[in-house]
Structure 1
Amino acid sequence: MSNPDISVRNLWKVFGPGGEKIPKDASLSALSAAELLARTGCNAAVRDMNFDVGKGEVFVVMGLSGSGKSTLIRCLTRLIEPTSGRVLVDGKDVLEAGTGELRELRRRKMSMVFQHFGLLPHRTVLDNVSYGLQIRGAGKAQRYAKSREIIELVGLKGYEQHFPDQLSGGMQQRVGLGRALAGDPDTILFDEPFSALDPLIRRDMQAEVIRLHKEMGKTMVFVTHDLSEALKLGDRILIMRNGEMVQCGTGDDLVGSPADQYIADFVSEVPRADVLTLKWITGPVAFGTPADAPVLAAGTVIRDAIPAVMNSSCPVLVEDAGRITGQIDRDSILSVILGTEAAA
C-alpha cells in the first residue's frame, strides 16, 4: 500500500516482568500464549503485528474477548506503551515521539471514541464536545462555534446545555463521537464504542458512522467483537486470536477464502449472498451465451445481482477491469442463497 496513514511493523506488547526480552528471543517468542505464561509469567497481548491502514479507509480490528484488539488500538497512540516495533503515522514513528510530539499527535492527528463514553459528567454537551479544542488553546467563541456545528452533525442539536446523565446511552456516545470529530483529526480510533448499547441504538450508531465517513472521509480504525458490525462497517477486517493476526482482508475475502478453520468457523453463519461478490461464482462463458447479454461487475455483491439475473432470459456476463471474465446464471445465484455453494 502506497502512502498509508498508519503502518504497523513488528509490534509487540508483552505484559509482565522481563517482557522486553521476549520479542528478541526466538525460543520465547515462538511459544504459545499458555506456554509463555507458564515459563515466564508474561502475557503477549500483541504479537509481531504488521498491517497498513490506507487514507480514508475504515479498518476494523476484531476478535473474541482477550484477543488483544483493544490493547492493539491503544498502542497506536501509546495509551498503552508498546514493548517493541514501529507505528508509523505520516511516516513518523510514534514509538520515538517525545512527550510534546505525542501530545500533539493525540490532540490533532488521532482522536479516540471509547466504549464507556468517557464524558466529563460536570460538563454540558457543548463543553464536552469543545473540550479538546479548549486544551488546544482555542478561544471560547471559536470552540463553541465549531462545537455547535459538530453537535448538529451528530444529531444532537438542541441538547447543547444538557449534562451526560440527562442523555440516553446512544446520545452519550454521539457526544463522544462529536468530541472526537471537533478537533478535525486525520484518524478516529473506536474502541468497541457501541458494545454497551441496545441493539436498535447500536444499529443507529453504526449507520451514523457510515454517514459521517461518507461526508467527512476520515480514516477510521474500529475495534469490535461483533462480526456483523465488522462486515457492515469495514473496508477491510483484521481478525486477531491470542494477540496475533489470523487473517486480514475484505469481508468478501474472509467469507470466500478463510485462511484456516478458525476463520471458517467465525464466518460460518454469515449470509454468504450478502457478502460474497460475483467473482466467487463466476464460471466460464458457455457456448451460445449471446455477446450482448447483460453485464455486471465482478465486485457486485451477489444479493444485489439477483434482480438482473432473475430478469434475464440468458446468462449474465461478468466483467472485471474492462474484460469479460465469465458468466453467472440463476443456478449459480440460487446455489449460494440455498447454502450449497462451497467457498472457492
Structure 2
Amino acid sequence: MAEPDATPETATDATISIRNLWKIFGPRANKVIGTELAELDAAELKSRADTVAAVRDVSIDVKPGEMFVVMGLSGSGKSTLVRCLTRLIDPTAGQVLVEGDDVGAMGANELRDLRRHRVSMVFQHFGLLPHRRVIDNVAYGLEIQGVSRGKRRTRAQDMIDLVGLTGNEDCLPEELSGGMQQRVGLARALAVEPSIMLFDEPFSALDPLIRRDMQNEVIRLHREVGKTMMFITHDLSEALKLGDRIAIMRAGEIVQLGTPADLVGSPADDYVADFVSEVPKTDVLSLRWIARPADGVAPTGTALSADTVIRDAIGDIMAADNPLPVEADGELIGVVGQRDVLSLMAENRS
C-alpha cells in the first residue's frame, strides 16, 4: 500500500489532521485493533469477529485552503470517514484535530460549537426545510446561533447572491430545480462563515449537466471564499476536476494520496491504475512529466513552463521543428518535442 502522505503536515500546519483513525462496527469492535484480527480482509473479519472495519488506520492532513478529495467506490469507507471528523459517527480509535483542537476530547458544548460555527456539511440530500422560503433556509444556521433577524437576513442575502440565486429569495424549495436546491444548501453552509466545509457526495443525485454546473460553482466558490474543503465522491472525473489532492480509498484504507497528476502519471498499484486507465494523460499531466534531458544541446524556441498542462501546449509543440525548452522557476529542466507528445497519446490508445 502507498504511504498516505510522503510529506505530512504537522498538526499545527494542517487545518484537519487525522491520525491512525479506525471505525469498526460490530459487537467486538474494541477487540480488533492491535490484534491479528486487524490484518484480516473484510470477509474474514466479518466471519470471525462479526465486525466491519469501515475505516482502517487512516492518517491524512488537509492543508489550509486546500480542496481535498476523498474518492472510492461504494463501501470504501469514505462517507464514514468524513462523518467521523465532527463525530456524527464516533471513531473507534485514533485522533482527529480540527484547527489544532482534539475533536475526540470535546464535550457536548464544544462539539455543538464546532458544528454550528466552524465546520459546515453539504450532503447529497439537500435537507431544506420545505415550509421555509429560500432566504429563511439559508439563514437557518444563523438563527440557531442566535443572530438577530436583521443581521441574519442580510448575511443570507449576500450568500444567495454569491451562489447565483438572486431573485429566488421568496421561493419555497419545491419551486426550485435540484441544482437550485443544492445551491441553497451551499449558501446555507457558507452563511455561518465556517473555516471548513465538508461535502459528502453532494451532486450524486443530479443530472449530468447540472452536476457539471455545480462542480464549476464549487470551484468558483473555493477560489473566491478560500475555505478549506473536503469533498467526498465516487466519481473519478469529479475528483480530478475538483481536487488539489486526492485520496483513493478501498476497503477502509488509503491506497494512494497525491495530486491528480500523481494518480494518473504514477498509480500506486493495479487498483489505482485501473481507475485512471481511461483518463487522457494529456488532460491531466504537466510538461514536467514528459520533459527529457537536453543532452547538452541548447534548445531553441520559446520556453514552456513545466507546470503547463500538456493539452494546452500541444499546439506549440507540434508546430515547432525542434524540441522546445521546458523551464521551472526560470531554470531549464529539459525539452519536449513532437515524439514525446505522440508517445504519451499512444499510451492511452493501447
Normalised-by-shorter TM-score class? over 0.9
1:88 aligns to 2:133 (yes or no): no
- Judge conservation of contact 2:281–2:348 (CA < 8 Å) in 1: no
3-state SS, counterpart of residue 79 of structure 1: coil
Give the TM-score, by structure 1 length: 0.96
1:174 aligns to 2:153 (yes or no): no
Q: State the distance in 2 between where 1:92 and 1:330 align.
A: 52
Q: How does 1:309-328 map to 2 (within 5 A)?
A: 309-328=317-336
Q: Amino acid of the residue matched to residue 46 of structure 1?
A: V
3-state SS, counterpart of residue 134 of structure 1: helix
Q: Give the structure 1 partner of residue 245 of structure 2.
A: 236
Give the TM-score, by structure 2 length: 0.94
Q: State the distance in 2 between where 1:155 and 1:112 align.
A: 20
Q: State the distance in 2 between where 1:31 and 1:132 align.
A: 43
- Judge conservation of contact 2:280–2:348 (CA < 8 Å) in 1: no
Residue 289 (structure 1) shift: 3.8
Q: Amino acid of the residue matched to residue 242 of structure 1?
A: A
Name which of 289, 295, 306 aligns with 2:314.
Answer: 306
The range that moved more, 316-325 or 27-36, is: 316-325
Name which of 139, 150, 155 aligns with 1:141.
Answer: 150
**Structure 1 runs of 4+ with >2 Å offset:** 286-290, 310-314, 320-323, 337-342
- Judge conservation of contact 1:11–1:48 (CA < 8 Å) in 2: yes
Quick one: percent identity of the two aligned structures?
61
Q: How does 1:92-171 map to 2 (within 5 A)?
A: 92-171=101-180
1:74 aligns to 2:88 (yes or no): no
**Would the alpha carbon gap of residues 106 and 156 (structure 1) be closer, same or farther in structure 2, given more than 3 Å must change?**
same
Q: State the distance in 2 between where 1:273 and 1:341 align.
A: 12
Name which of 70, 73, 79 aligns with 1:61.
Answer: 70
Q: State the distance in 1 between where 2:107 and 2:210 align.
A: 40
Q: Give the structure 1 partner of residue 28 of structure 2.
A: 18
Q: State the distance in 2 between where 1:82 and 1:120 align.
A: 30
Residue 286 (structure 1) shift: 3.7
3-state SS, counterpart of residue 13 of structure 1: strand
1:251 aligns to 2:260 (yes or no): yes
Residue 340 (structure 1) shift: 6.0
Residue 236 (structure 1) shift: 0.3
Q: State the distance in 2 between where 1:18 and 1:124 align.
A: 46
The range that moved more, 197-206 or 11-20, is: 11-20
- Judge conservation of contact 2:303–2:326 (CA < 8 Å) in 1: yes
Residue 262 (structure 1) shift: 0.3
Residue 314 (structure 1) shift: 2.3
**Would the alpha carbon gap of residues 77 and 39 (structure 1) be closer, same or farther in structure 2, given more than 3 Å must change?**
same
The range that moved more, 239-248 or 320-329, is: 320-329
Gaps (5+ residues) in structure 1? none
Name which of 264, 282, 294 aligns with 1:273.
Answer: 282
1:213 aligns to 2:234 (yes or no): no
Q: Give the structure 1 partner of residue 340 of structure 2.
A: 332
- Judge conservation of contact 1:112–1:191 (CA < 8 Å) in 2: yes
Q: State the distance in 1 between where 2:201 and 2:263 align.
A: 21
Q: Amino acid of the residue matched to residue 11 of structure 1?
A: L
Q: Amino acid of the residue matched to residue 187 of structure 1?
A: I
Residue 323 (structure 1) shift: 2.4
**Would the alpha carbon gap of residues 118 and 340 (structure 1) be closer, same or farther in structure 2, given more than 3 Å must change?**
closer
- Judge conservation of contact 1:294–1:312 (CA < 8 Å) in 2: no
Q: State the distance in 2 between where 1:308 and 1:216 align.
A: 35
Instruction: Report the RMSD for the aligned CA atoms in angstroms.
Output: 1.4
- Judge conservation of contact 1:296–1:316 (CA < 8 Å) in 2: yes
The range that moved more, 258-267 or 118-127, is: 118-127
**Would the alpha carbon gap of residues 340 and 262 (structure 1) be closer, same or farther in structure 2, given more than 3 Å must change?**
closer
Gaps (5+ residues) in structure 2? 1-8
Q: State the distance in 2 between where 1:340 and 1:284 align.
A: 24
The count of residues paired between Structure 1 and Structure 2 equals 340
Q: Give the structure 1 partner of residue 6 of structure 2.
A: none
Q: State the distance in 2 between where 1:122 and 1:18 align.
A: 44
3-state SS, counterpart of residue 338 of structure 1: helix
